[in-house]
Amino acid sequence: MKLELTDNQPLADRIRPKKLDEFVGQSHIRERIEAFDRSKRLPSLLLFGPPGCGKSTLALLLAKSTGRHFMRISAPEAGIASLRKQLAGMDILILDELHRFSKAQQDFFLPILESGEITLLATTTENPSFSVTRQLLSRLHVLRLRALSKVDLIAICKRACEELEMELSADSLNLITSMAGGDGRSLLNLLEYTSQLSEEKREAEKLRTILPETVIRGDRDGDSHYELASALIKSIRGSDPDAALYYLGCLIESGEDPKFITRRLIISAGEDIGLADPYAITLAVSCQQAVEFIGMPEGFIPLSETVVYLALAPKSNSTYAAYHTVKQEIRQNGMLPVPLHLRNATTNLQKEWGYGRNYKYPHSFPKSYVEQEYLPPEISDRTFYNSKDQGEEPRLNAWLHGQKRFARTRVEPPSSKRKK
């Protein structure tokens, strides 16, 4: 028989573990957690991980196990003035969403942590390297929690089903855990919704059409935003169209700004494909214009086409690498003067100084090419661009090498013949 939900207590609170043995997940740091739990004095901790992975639950379990006075508060609700008063008589503070505190607010904790007046158990979904001050971070042990695995979610599912006095088939469990996306809180919300359905509607095929569409988190300021973008670009670079499409889908379905996506694709076309397929960057820019013109959701059409094309295109980072070589040369040795024959003589005085003297105008020579020195003499032997044998790049380089061979076979430039 289904348990009637007569109160407003969320399912997550009702089945929250009472002791550490009941805590599900985070096997990669389990030994550290148990060591902190056994220690005589619990140190200040920062629990960092995605939503619904158990950060607050773990903080509560560790605080309760000490037997000391503790309080829990969320950073967006807390002002420093009121927090000072609330901390009176408390030994442990559980602070959710630490990243919401400004630098000045975070500095409030420095002296009280230094003196041992309070133990701070803070949680955050944002990378602490960027969201927490260096001074505060140095006073905290950081535990990085991971999204819950399928096995973890099924374990929570079974516990919740017992609480709800509800039976679900293996297919239905698998569907719900897949929709939760590693988030225990989302999982329990889906189960709570399912418990209100009749038994025949709890079968997987029915649930698939009945369950509310889950909103995929796309934290534009958090790690997932950059991790997905990085995975997309690396998949394109690695010529894997399936993976590239998958990460494009993750970005789009999480509500990512399409301008950010097209910007990354243009960069990828220039950095990773380059002269192997010069058309790639044209397509990427066209994609940006198309997406801006037609908008979303139809914008996924040109985005998908471009992502697959870039993944299938031959790859060359020769121009990208060449620029970095040039940059290193300039930073090490400074900018050298432009050779005199390459300077424009716009005044008589500049002509006297030799500006433009002996410059060879390529169009005055056969095939519009003539060998002459363009680099400053101090680095005339340097090579910055090294071509790759990919796509169009060999053809482009073959033209230049052919011009050089032709120029070396000429006895004298045509201008000299005309003078005679």
Same domain, 324 and 400: yes
Q: What CATH number has the domain bearing residue 402?
A: 1.10.3710.10
In this predicted structure, the answer to whether residue 308 has a pLDDT above a threshold of 90 is yes
Distance CA 337, CA 378 (A): 10
Same domain, 34 and 117: yes
In a domain, 10, yes or no: no
In a domain, 4, yes or no: no
Backbone Cα Rg of the chain: 32
Instruction: From 144, 163, 192, give the residue that closes a domain.
Output: 144
Instruction: From 144, 179, 199, give the residue that closes a domain.
Output: 144
In a domain, 117, yes or no: yes
Cβ neighbours for 21, distance < 8 A, ≥ 6 positions apart: none
| 119-124 and 92-96 beta bridge pairing | parallel
Average pLDDT on 312-327 reads: 92
Q: Record the pTM.
A: 0.59
In a domain, 21, yes or no: no
Write the DSSP string, 255-317.
T--HHHHHHHHHHHIIIIIGGG-THHHHHHHHHHHHHHHH-TTTTHHHHHHHHHHHHHS----
For the chain, the domain total comes to 4
Predicted pLDDT at 302: 95
Predicted pLDDT at 225: 66
Q: pLDDT digit string (tens) for 150-188?
A: 889 988 988 888 888 888 888 888 888 888 878 888 888
In a domain, 357, yes or no: yes
Same domain, 198 and 140: no
Same domain, 198 and 280: no
Same domain, 303 and 327: no
**Domain region containing 280:** 223-312
Average pLDDT on 131-143 reads: 90
Same domain, 129 and 96: yes
Distance CA 394, CA 314 (A): 12
In a domain, 2, yes or no: no
CB 119 within 8 A of CB 93: yes
Same domain, 73 and 159: no
Query: How large a percentage of the chain has pLDDT more than 70?
Result: 92
Predicted pLDDT at 411: 46
DSSP three-state, residue 81 = helix
Same domain, 296 and 350: no
Q: pLDDT digit string (tens) for 239-285?
A: 999 999 999 998 888 778 899 999 999 999 999 999 999 999 999 99
Q: What CATH number has the domain bearing residue 66?
A: 3.40.50.300
H runs (alpha helix) in 165-278: 170-180, 184-195, 204-210, 223-237, 241-253, 258-268
Same domain, 169 and 91: no
Which tokens hold the place of 163?
Answer: 């609480």
Average pLDDT on 228-238 reads: 92
Angle at 363 between CA 360 and CA 365, to 5 degrees: 70
Average pLDDT on 194-203 reads: 83
In a domain, 71, yes or no: yes
Q: pLDDT digit string (tens) for 34-77?
A: 898 888 889 999 999 888 889 999 999 999 988 899 999 888 88
Same domain, 136 and 174: no
Q: What CATH number has the domain bearing residue 266?
A: 1.20.272.10
Helix 150-164 crosses helix 184-195 at what angle (to 10 degrees)? Answer: 40
Same domain, 304 and 370: no
Same domain, 296 and 328: no
Distance CA 54, CA 73 (A): 16
Predicted pLDDT at 212: 65
Q: pLDDT digit string (tens) for 17-46?
A: 888 888 988 889 999 998 988 888 899 999
In a domain, 15, yes or no: no
| 141-144 and 45-48 beta bridge pairing | parallel
Distance CA 47, CA 141 (A): 8
Distance CA 352, CA 330 (A): 29
Predicted pLDDT at 45: 93
In this predicted structure, the answer to whether residue 7 has a pLDDT above a threshold of 60 is no
Instruction: From 144, 164, 192, give the residue that closes a domain.
Output: 144
